[in-house]
Amino acid sequence: MKSKWNLAACLVLAVVAALCPAMAADQASPAATWAARAVSQYLVMADVTYLKIDNFEAKADVYRRRDATGPLPTLIYIHGGGWIGGSKGGTVNHILPWLEMGWNVVSLDYRLARVSPAPAAVEDCLCALRWVATRAQAYGIDMNRLVVSGDSAGGQLALTTGMIPESAGLDRQCPGAPLPKVAAIVNFYGITDVADLLDGPNQKSYAVSWLANSENRLETAKRVSPLTYVRPGVPPVLTVQGDADPTVPYTHAVRLHEALGKANVANQLVTVPGGRHGMFTADEYARAYSEIRAFLAKQDLLPK
């Protein structure tokens, strides 16, 4: 297990180096200083199995602060890829800002369409939420300051993970204690209405592939759509999306924002003018994370 921790720590360093070219040339740069500090501050447990199903082992990487003297705010991060691709190995650049803020992080894999179609990914992430709760003491997780986030399809999964009630019946793959409530959701350009992507002008091949084998496509699409679960009392939501996104219609973010507002749910839409599907500029990401930090502070979720 120790070799896996070291491997994951090296991965953090490699990604920081890739994102910050100045690191190689200037070892005194802030990125280099933080990366060196991260290796000593974080214990990284890679490829921990949280669910076995369909001959598939769903795994998580757990980043835990070594110097914590009590439970810490913790992020569950869910990768994107249209439910047909991607992996937790590609999310390190998304979780680095949270590590820098001093959070614990749990990064997830889940069943992709080639393993099992919708609603499998949604079910897996709900199981991961329940699994995190069972490991809270061991991993130093503050269950009152648990935030879930993701990008693209991962944004959709972050929303459903935080919003779906047990009455929906999508957590039955891993029965146990009641599903814990998350404190907030940070949604990066996630799909909010899956049916909208199955036909018509917004049709997307990735959504068609995810729902292809469903007997009742539209019913399943509704079950896995965050807009279905908007109601008073769901966690606060912050959404980040570019208004020129060609992959997930920007209208999905707007509709979610409006629906949450009507339900009197605290929420914020951070629009990136001219922004496409992620890959924002450094300044745009800096603004987004500034807004995220302020949003978390309003909810009293930052480390003490």
pLDDT tens track for 85-129: 999 999 888 999 999 999 999 999 999 999 999 999 999 999 999
Q: What is the pLDDT of residue 37?
A: 62
Distances (CA, A) of 6 to 42, 170, 220: 10, 36, 41
| Separation between Cα atoms, residue 151 and residue 78, nearest integer Å | 7
Cα 183 to Cα 42, 199, 295: the distances in Å are: 23, 34, 12
Say how many residues make up the chain: 304
pLDDT in tens, 166-222: 999 999 999 999 999 999 999 999 999 999 999 999 999 999 999 987 779 999 999
Assign 1 a pLDDT band (cuts: 50, 70, 90).
very low
Q: Please determine, looking at this structure, whether the domain spanning 43-298 carries the CATH number 3.40.30.10.
A: no
Per-residue pLDDT, 93: 87
- pTM beyond cutoff 0.85: yes
Tokens of 107: 């990064």
